[in-house]
């Protein structure tokens, strides 16, 4: 119904922003990750939105990119995860890291989100694994590289290591699990990540 709202960022709260356009202030619930990337109050902003309607309420949920919004919609299709749970997951784990966690069956990372237990995390992995592809992780990371270079450099380095392991004959899920287990990956390049991941596979 509402694709996005563009206007002046009027107020910012703990999990909500108010965007004013044409004299109307829209109350939009956002994940914590969005709050860190917002411009200053008074600036122009575009929020991609999802209107959630139930018997006793209508809520707008918002994101700074269509990719974030598409992942939110995917999460809503998982049994037992409503808008509140989906928002909690995206406040804790970025869309690309969530894709990586799902494909590597990383229950621990997903269950680190508030209110998401191991059982729900496992169900999420089962229901989303076939809907996500390793190629998507590469594509979105490359597309967002200019917007968040440091974060995406780490993701790209991990993906390069996974690709190298797959080329060596390891299954993609097995390769991703090994890469996820590499400690302090943000401080390493793809070659270092590959070497440490290989040690975990031998």
- For residue 37, the model assigns a pLDDT of 86
How many residues in total does the chain contain? 202
Domains and CATH numbers, the chain: 4-64 (2.40.50.140), 66-132 (1.10.150.20), 133-202 (no CATH)
C-alpha–C-alpha distance, residues 20 and 11, integer Å: 9
Average pLDDT over residues 195-202: 86
Averaged pLDDT, 124-144? 70
pLDDT (tens digit per residue) in 151-191: 667 777 888 888 888 888 887 767 877 887 888 888 888 88
Q: Put residue 33 in one of left, alpha, beta given phi > 0 → left and psi -120 to 50 → alpha.
A: alpha
Query: What sign results for the dihedral spanned by CA atoms 166, 181, 114, 93?
Result: negative
- Give the CA angle between residues 40, 36, 75 to the nearest 5°: 125
pLDDT band for position 133 (cuts 50, 70, 90): low
Residue-wise pLDDT tens digits, 82-99? 898 999 999 988 887 888
Residues near 111 by Cβ (< 8 Å), separated by ≥ 6? Answer: 117, 118, 120, 121
Higher pLDDT, 137 or 116: 116
Beta-carbon count within 10 A of 119 CB = 11
Predicted pLDDT at 75:
94
Between 16 and 56, the more confident residue is 16
Output the average pLDDT for the chain: 85
* pLDDT at res. 122: 93
pLDDT at 136: 59
Question: Is the pLDDT assigned to residue 26 strictly greater than 70?
Answer: yes
pLDDT of res. 137: 59
User: In the prediction, which pLDDT does 44 show?
Assistant: 95
Q: Which pLDDT belongs to residue 138?
A: 56
């Amino acid at each position: 119904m509402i694709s996005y709202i563009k206007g002046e960022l009027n107020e910012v709260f703990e999990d909500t922003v108010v965007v004013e356009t044409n004299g109307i202030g829209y109350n939009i619930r956002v994940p914590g990750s969005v709050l860190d990337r917002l411009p200053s109050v008074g600036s122009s902003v575009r929020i991609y939105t999802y209107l959630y309607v139930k018997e006793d309420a209508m809520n707008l949920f918002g994101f700074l990119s269509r990719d974030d919004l598409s992942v939110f919609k995917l999460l809503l299709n998982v049994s037992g995860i409503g808008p509140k749970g989906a928002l909690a997951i995206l406040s804790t784990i970025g869309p690309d890291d969530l894709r990586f966690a799902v494909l590597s069956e990383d229950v621990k990372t997903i269950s680190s989100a508030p209110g998401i237990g191991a059982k729900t995390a496992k169900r999420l992995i089962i229901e989303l694994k076939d809907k996500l592809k390793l190629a998507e992780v590469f594509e979105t990371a490359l597309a967002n590289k200019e917007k968040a270079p440091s974060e995406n450099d780490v993701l790209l380095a991990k993906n390069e290591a996974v690709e190298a392991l797959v080329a060596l004959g390891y299954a993609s899920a097995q390769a991703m699990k090994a890469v996820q287990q590499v400690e302090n990956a943000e401080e390493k390049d793809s070659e270092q990540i590959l070497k440490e991941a290989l040690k975990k596979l031998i």
